């Protein structure tokens, strides 16, 4: 199926189980990984919160993606932090999704598109303050 080159994104899926190899070299799925444990259980085994682990995973993805972008000769970079954490005083836009994106491309307004246009106006005004 032909895709739309204006909507670059990736869905990264991983297992939440521990994986090891048996004596023959086959993969064996084990117990839940630590990210699946409750924060209470994580603390009881000396781990931080799952939220902290998610932040670490996002930071790892940022480093890997930016290295790949640099190796590809692109000046684009990603940042795993929120706009606020980056010191950017800008309102975030809402994800359109496939239905609203299709409507907008065909010249039909959508509620989410209208909201994002208002955010763009608000952000433009913030730049001039």
Q: Is the pTM of this model over 0.85?
A: no
Residue found by looking up tokens 């994104």 in the block: 9
- CA–CA separation, 7 and 100 (whole Å): 13
Same domain, 50 and 25: yes
Same domain, 20 and 67: yes
Could you list the residue range(s) of the whole structural domain that residue 17 is in? 1-80
Beta partners for residue 29, in sequence order: 19
Same domain, 5 and 61: yes
Same domain, 60 and 1: yes
Residue found by looking up tokens 């009881």 in the block: 44
Query: Going by C-beta distance under 8 Å and a sequence separation of 6 or more, which residues neighbour residue 103?
Result: 109, 110, 113
pLDDT in tens, the chain (129 residues): 465 566 667 777 777 788 899 999 999 988 877 777 888 988 898 888 888 888 998 999 999 999 999 999 999 999 999 888 998 888 889 999 889 989 998 999 999 999 999 999 999 998 887
Same domain, 76 and 93: no
Same domain, 93 and 76: no
Query: Total domain count for the chain?
Result: 2
């Amino acid at each position: 199926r032909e895709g739309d080159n204006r909507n670059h994104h990736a869905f990264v899926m991983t297992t939440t189980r521990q994986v090891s190899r048996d004596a023959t070299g086959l993969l064996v799925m084990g117990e839940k990984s630590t990210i699946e444990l409750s924060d209470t259980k994580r603390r009881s085994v000396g781990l931080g919160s799952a939220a902290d682990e998610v932040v670490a995973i996002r930071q790892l993805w940022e480093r890997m993606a930016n290295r790949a972008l640099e190796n590809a000769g692109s000046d684009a970079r990603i940042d795993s932090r929120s706009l606020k954490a980056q010191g950017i005083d800008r309102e975030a836009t809402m994800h359109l999704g496939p239905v609203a994106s299709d409507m907008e491309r065909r010249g039909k307004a959508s509620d989410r598109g209208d909201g994002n246009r208002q955010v763009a106006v608000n952000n433009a005004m913030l730049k001039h303050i």
